[in-house]
Every structure is written in structure tokens, then in C-alpha cells.
Amino acid sequence: MIESIDKNNLPRHIAVIMDGNGRWAKKQGAMRIFGHHHGITAVRDTVKACGELGVGYLTLYTFSTENWSRPKAEVDGIMNLLVKTITDEVPELHKSNVRLKCIGDLSQLPKNARESMIKGIEDTKNNTGLVLTLALSYSGKWDIIQAVKKIAEEVKTQNLEIDQINEAMFGNYLSTSPDPEVDLLIRTGGDHRISNYLLWQSAYAELLFLDDIFWPDFRKQHLFEAVLSYQHRERRFGKTGEQIKEKQIK
């Protein structure tokens, strides 16, 4: 499968909505947290697949702003799992030259989760391979608002003129900056929505909704299939198909 992938046409940035952990667990008569635990195997496989291909950026929707309203036991379970996973996996990530990052409102996280995240980021900050970003206490609307606040502050302090505000510079104020925008957005679990994920950054992303796979079952092979599917699509960015073909010939 990996041989069929065109290494010159890889998505630079893949974002994933890891959905279906709860339903996966329920299917086996287990508690929802069991599904989250098994989701880690899928995370490991996805990171390895991206590394093997040479994808530059992988951003995982690990915990949304809205997820805080889940039952406390589940929230606590996910936070504990996060701490354990970061502690267990960072040495391996470091060996593989992966750089760990985080986007979201970290101030909302329990202290131990925030601290282990900050340590993981620090330990891997000089790595030059895959950039693995965990979206934690994140929402796309939160990201846009925090960017607007920073810009407003600069206008207020006269470091920026209103006329200088444009699409190109706005991206620099988003939490993902300086990473490129999303090329491929994958969602497992059967729902066809973006759920307040990387709203600005996914403006031109190819969307791939996997109906038959809950996140804990996602493996390398699914990531490779997703990239192949991306490569079969024509990305027009508002232009005509003919314009795109002319550009390819030139």
C-alpha cells in the first residue's frame, strides 16, 4: 500500500478527529474509558505512519472545549490517560525525532496534565521530524477569538493599523502558527461534521469521513488509504479544473 503513495504529493498537514471511542467500548460491553485507552494504540500507529511517509504535521483533536461538560469520571479518566501517555511515550517520540506541541486553553487543564504536557514539549522542542500537535481544551472558535484579542491589543497599542489586517497575517495569530493550514482532515466514527475543530485552518482541507471505523480500530493501513484517497482528489482552491491542469503541464 505504502508503495502506491506518491511521496511528492503528500498532505503537508493532516488533522484527525478521533471519534467513536465510547461506542467502540460499548460494543464490547465495557466502560467508555476503555475505548479511550485503546485509542492510544491508534494514536501510536498514526504517528508511525505519518513518520514513515514523511508527513510534516499531524494535529489530533484530543479534548475539545465542549468535552469539559462530559461526566466528571470520564473527564478525569481522559486527563489521567493523557498524563500516563505523555510520560510513557515521550522517550519514544524523542527517539523518532518527533516534536510534540499543544494548542488550546492549557490553563483549564489539571496541574499535572499541564505540567506533563509542558515537559513533553520542552523535551522534544529541538526535534526536526514530524510535528505532533495535541489539541487540548481546544475549539476552533476559541482559537479565532484569541487571535482577534491579540490583534485588537496591537491595534490599541498602535503597533498595527486596521488596514493591515488581512487573511495572510491573521493566520500568524492563530495557535497553530507557524504550521501550514490543514490539507487533509480525517474523522472516524461515522459523523460528518467538523465539530468546532480547526475552523480557519481547514478552509481548504479535503474532508474524509470514515463511516465504518471507530477510532480505537484505526491503523497505519487506514492512514495510508486516507492519503491515497487525498491524492486522487483534485484540489482547485476556487479555480476551474482546466486552470489546474494547465498549471500542472507548465
Active site residues: 19, 67
Residues 6+ apart with CB under 8 A from 211: 190
* Site membership for ligand FPP, residue 78 (CB under 6 A): yes
Q: At what angle do helices 72-95 and 32-53 cross, to 10 degrees?
A: 20
Q: Which stretch binds ligand FPP (CB under 6 A): 3-11, 79-87, 114-122, 197-205?
A: 79-87
Q: Is 109 in the site for ligand FPP (CB under 6 A)?
A: no
**Grid cell digits, residue 238:** 476556487
Cβ atoms of 100 and 59 closer than 8 Å: no
- Name the minimum Å distance from CB 113 to ligand FPP: 10
Whichever of 36 and 201 has its CB closer to ligand FPP, that residue is 36
- Report d(CA 196, CA 66) in Å as an integer: 9
73 class by beta-carbon count within 10 Å (0-12 exposed, 13-18 middle, 19+ buried): exposed
**According to the binding rule CB under 6 A, does residue 67 interact with ligand FPP?**
yes
Task: Give the one residue of 2, 12, 23, 180 binding ligand FPP; rule: CB under 6 A.
Answer: 23
**Which 130-169 positions form the footprint of ligand FPP (CB under 6 A)?**
134
Q: Which residues bind ligand FPP (CB under 6 A)?
A: 18-23, 32, 36, 39-40, 43, 60, 62, 67, 78, 81-82, 85, 134, 189
